[in-house]
Structure 1
Amino acid sequence: MEGKEEDVNLGANKYSERQPLGTAAQTQEKDYTEPGPAPLFEPGEFVSWSFYRAGIAEFMATFLFLYITILTVMGVKDATDICNGSVGIQGIAWAFGGMIFCLVYCTAGISGGHINPAVTFGLFLARKLSLPRALLYMICQCLGAMCGAGVVKGFGPSQYEFNGGGANTVAHGYTKGDGLGAEIVGTFVLVYTVFSATDAKRSARDSHVPILAPLPIGFAVFLVHLATIPITGTGINPARSLGAAIVFDSSHAWHDQWIFWVGPFIGAALAAFYHVIVIRAIPFKSRH
């Protein structure tokens, strides 16, 4: 309890009630350590078990993510009455958001809990991980997604094919530009939330208020799905879209596949730029 009281006292003394609301971020003193940028290439990673263990964790997490979420989608589409006989669109959104919450919680201490090539790409651009690790994560995520969708198809191949296999496509009535825009903005929301939830500055400043990072990340996924399921089925995760497309193997799904890579990668890049340049202003800080 002593350590806890010290944290509370530090917060109370450093950011007192007399300080105008919203000016805490302008203080020059630091009560945290700014992590240095990750090296672009680190040869030592290749002989480290933690490097490969992280890749395995990303594979398993993405496998479980696709398994649960695609099964949920199949259950909704297979129901005769979507509103009364299934969990509906809200249930699908909860399945995606809830699984991200659980899996980020389980794997954050091993790999960081990315479970999404777009998240990995955004964190790489912000120099949070090396290029070899980023590539390993993306490969493992895509392989895990394929295996997860494959297991779902194995339960009932005919139902899987009939109900679309959970593949992402631009819905009828929307243009490809609409789908691309929805994927860009949706991924921006997700990756921006990831940066904010894992920010070292916030963790230190709010040390007296426990922050469970997986919760806002999972909730962001839930909200984006509510908004964009009617447009694209919600991708915001290239591995999820690729895994379902490969296992379903429909020409229509492949025709729209580029949207679910270009959109999320643009959204992730914009979120990384916004966090590093605007929110944290890291390039403009003086070096001591």
Structure 2
Amino acid sequence: MSWSFYRAGIAEFVANFLFLYITILTIMGVSKSESKCSTVGIQDIAWALGGMIFALVYCTTGISGGHTNLVVTFRLFLARKLSLTRELFYMVMQCLGAICGAGVVKVFGKTLYETKGDETNVVNVGYTKGDGLDAEIIETFVLILAPLPIGFAVFLVYLATIPITATSINPVRSLGATIIYNKEPTWNDHVCIYFT
């Protein structure tokens, strides 16, 4: 394996690390506030995460292709744009990056992270698992259709589906946060996330 192979995997690790770190801190900022007006709301979460994905994809495109998402990596493998070895390496690095990003947040904000769990993905009250599955399928479809305006696509999807599942849009995003949170209710709805 060449240095560019490992460099690409490191880029995917760093991108997913930063994405989970920013995602969880942003969501914790909302859940910490008793009055949603004194901190970021759903629109600000969507802007923060859409902007973060835009920046991460922009920064990693020349190194790894800017996947930053298991679904994107798998789709490119199915389209024969990626070898099996590279796909598996990217997926492992994406998962490790997400777990480490969530872990670093937990180290700094353990009490809030463990008591709230808002940064994990579950189907919210008032929605069925079918609603969650539908939302995740549609948001993932929007994501893989938008290679250039991906950040804006992420913004729109978060804006629309945060109330339903807290918007996974990326199985790695859900996996990292849930492994570190590690409480049963957050594992129950993952079929909606991983099926997409």
Please point out which of 29, 34, 42 is paired with 1:80: 34
5+ long unaligned stretches in structure 1: 1-46, 195-212, 264-288
Matched, 1:231 2:184: no
CA contact (8 A) 2:31 2:118 kept: no
Question: What corresponds to 2:57 in structure 1?
Answer: 104
Mapping of residues 125-274 of structure 1, within 5 Å: 125-164=78-117, 166-194=119-147, 213=148, 216-263=149-196
Aligned residues: 196
Percent same amino acid at aligned positions? 66
1:165–1:146 CA distance, 2 compared to 1 (3 A): farther
Structure holding more helix per residue: 2
TM-aligned CA deviation for residue 246 of structure 1: 0.2
Task: Give, in angstroms, the shift of residue 165 of structure 1.
Answer: 5.0
Q: Using structure 2 for the length normalisation, give the TM-score.
A: 0.98
Residues 38-87 of structure 1, C-alpha deviations (whole Å, 9 max, x = no match): xxxxxxxxx211111100110011101111111000000001101x1111
Moved over 6 A (4+): none
Query: Is this contact kept in 2: 1:97–1:222, CA < 8 A?
Result: yes
Which is higher, the Rg of structure 1 or of structure 2?
1
Q: Which has the higher contact order (CA 8 A, sep 6+)?
A: 2
Rounded to whole Å, the distance in 2 between the matches of 1:134 and 1:121 is: 7
Q: CA deviation at 1:161?
A: 1.2
**What amino acid is aligned across from residue 30 of structure 2 in structure 1?**
V
**Which amino acid counterpart does residue 229 of structure 1 have in structure 2?**
I
Equivalent residue number for residue 124 of structure 1: 77
Q: Which amino acid aligns with 1:123?
A: L
Deviations 1:227-277 (A, max 9, x none): 1101000011000000000000110111112221112xxxxxxxxxxxxxx
Is contact 1:161–1:248 with CA below 8 Å preserved after alignment? yes
CA contact (8 A) 1:97 1:219 kept: yes
| 2: CA distance, partners of 1:95 / 1:70 | 11
- Which amino acid in the other structure matches residue 90 of structure 2? Y
- Give unpaired runs (5+ residues) of structure 2: none
SS of 2:98's equivalent? helix
Q: Does residue 16 of structure 2 align to residue 62 of structure 1?
A: yes
Q: Distance in 1 between matches of 2:142 and 2:118?
A: 26
In the alignment, the residues of structure 1 paired with residue 66 and residue 139 of structure 2 have an alpha-carbon distance, to the nearest angstrom, of: 19
1:183-220: CA deviation from partner (whole Å, max 9, x where unpaired): 001000000112xxxxxxxxxxxxxxxxxx3xx11000
1:170/1:256 contact within 8 Å kept: yes
Does structure 1 residue 93 correspond to structure 2 residue 46? yes
Report the equivalent of 1:31: none
